[in-house]
């Protein structure tokens, strides 16, 4: 995360040419790790694509391929224009942009994401499908299957119980209520099977409480493999 998702959220600065960026690349190369996507940009009414060029350049410098955004502007025309301009900026650095729906944002549903993508029209724009945000906001596997070509990234996570009704409750669940894939009620196998166009798959389950990071990663890895392996 090179840009905060909300005011006060943690993020990491790796400016082009900095010691920290070079150190990151050296360590990542040594471990055989490649960067896929960079978080997180909120396209709201005050968004200016050009103001984020340093962060986009930093993302490209460490090898990122995609940038994640959400939409939170009630003016749909302005939102589509700003997304298009951000996609143009990303394209200059050989990157693409994925928009993620969230229940407390203006782009609330998967259908909202599709509408903005269609209005934007950028070739390097796609949809990011997060397990919680997709299902909790009313989307279906049939909808995903019908639009799978627009989905470039799936984030696996799980959850149990009734969907939260308020914005605060949605935020709390998304930030601290996620379960490892396979530990909840979401049809994650069906989610993965519905995207036939080679969408990248990641896991988003933040570390919450006094849990050993290595143990947490191993737990998530095992859960993801359980979802991805064939049933037969």
CATH number at residue 118: 3.20.20.150
Residue 112: inside a domain: yes
In a domain, 95, yes or no: yes
Q: Check pLDDT > 90 for residue 209.
A: no
What does the pLDDT read at residue 165? 94
Is 53 in contact with 96 (CB distance < 8 Å)?
Answer: no
Q: Residue 190 sits in which domain range?
A: 19-228
Residue 110 in any domain: the answer is yes
18-60 pLDDT, tens digit each: 999 999 999 999 999 999 999 989 999 999 999 999 999 999 9
Residue 4 domain-assigned (yes or no)? no
232 pLDDT tier (thresholds 50, 70, 90):
low
| 79, 43 contact by CB (below 8 A) | yes
| Adjacent-strand bridge partners of 227 | none
pLDDT of residue 9: 79
Alpha carbon of residue 26 to chain centroid: 25
Average pLDDT over residues 12-21: 94
Q: What is the mean pLDDT of residues 201-216?
A: 91
Domain-located, residue 13: no
pLDDT tens-digit profile of 51-107? 999 999 999 999 999 999 999 999 999 999 999 999 999 999 999 999 999 999 999
Side-chain half-sphere exposure of 118, counting CA atoms within 13 A = 7
Alpha carbon distance 72, 42 (integer Å)? 7
pLDDT classification of 231: cutoffs 50, 70, 90: confident
**pLDDT for 79:** 98
For residue 152, is it within any domain?
yes
Does residue 14 lie within any of the structural domains? no
Number of domains in the chain: 1
First vs last C-alpha separation in the chain: 37
Give dist(CA 145, CA 209) in Å, integer.
Answer: 36
pLDDT of residue 220: 97
- The percent helix, strand, coil of the chain (3-state, each to 5) is 45, 15, 40
What local confidence, expressed as pLDDT, does residue 154 receive?
Answer: 97
- Tell me the per-residue pLDDT of 128-161, one tens digit each, with 9 for 90 and over: 999 999 999 999 999 999 999 999 999 999 999 9
* Proportion of the chain above pLDDT 90, given as a percent: 88
């Amino acid at each position: 995360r090179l840009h905060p998702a909300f005011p006060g959220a943690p993020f990491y600065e790796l400016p082009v040419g900095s010691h920290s960026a070079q150190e990151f690349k050296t360590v990542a190369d040594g471990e055989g790790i490649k960067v896929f996507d960079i978080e997180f940009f909120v396209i709201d009414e005050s968004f200016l694509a050009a103001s984020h060029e340093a962060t986009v350049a930093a993302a490209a410098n460490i090898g990122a391929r995609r940038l994640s955004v959400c939409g939170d502007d009630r003016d749909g025309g302005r939102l589509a224009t700003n997304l298009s301009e951000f996609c143009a900026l990303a394209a200059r650095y050989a990157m693409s942009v994925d928009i993620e729906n969230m229940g407390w944002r203006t782009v609330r549903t998967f259908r909202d994401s599709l509408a903005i993508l269609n209005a934007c029209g950028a070739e390097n724009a796609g949809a990011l499908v997060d397990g919680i945000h997709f299902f909790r906001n009313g989307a279906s596997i049939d909808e995903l299957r019908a639009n799978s070509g627009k989905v470039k990234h799936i984030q696996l996570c799980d959850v149990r119980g009734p969907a939260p009704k308020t914005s605060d409750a949605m935020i709390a669940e998304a930030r601290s209520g996620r379960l490892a894939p396979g530990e909840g009620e979401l049809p994650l196998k069906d989610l993965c099977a519905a995207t036939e166009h080679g969408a990248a798959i990641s896991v988003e389950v933040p570390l919450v409480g006094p849990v050993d990071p290595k143990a947490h990663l191993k737990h998530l890895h095992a859960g993801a493999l359980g979802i991805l392996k064939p049933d037969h």
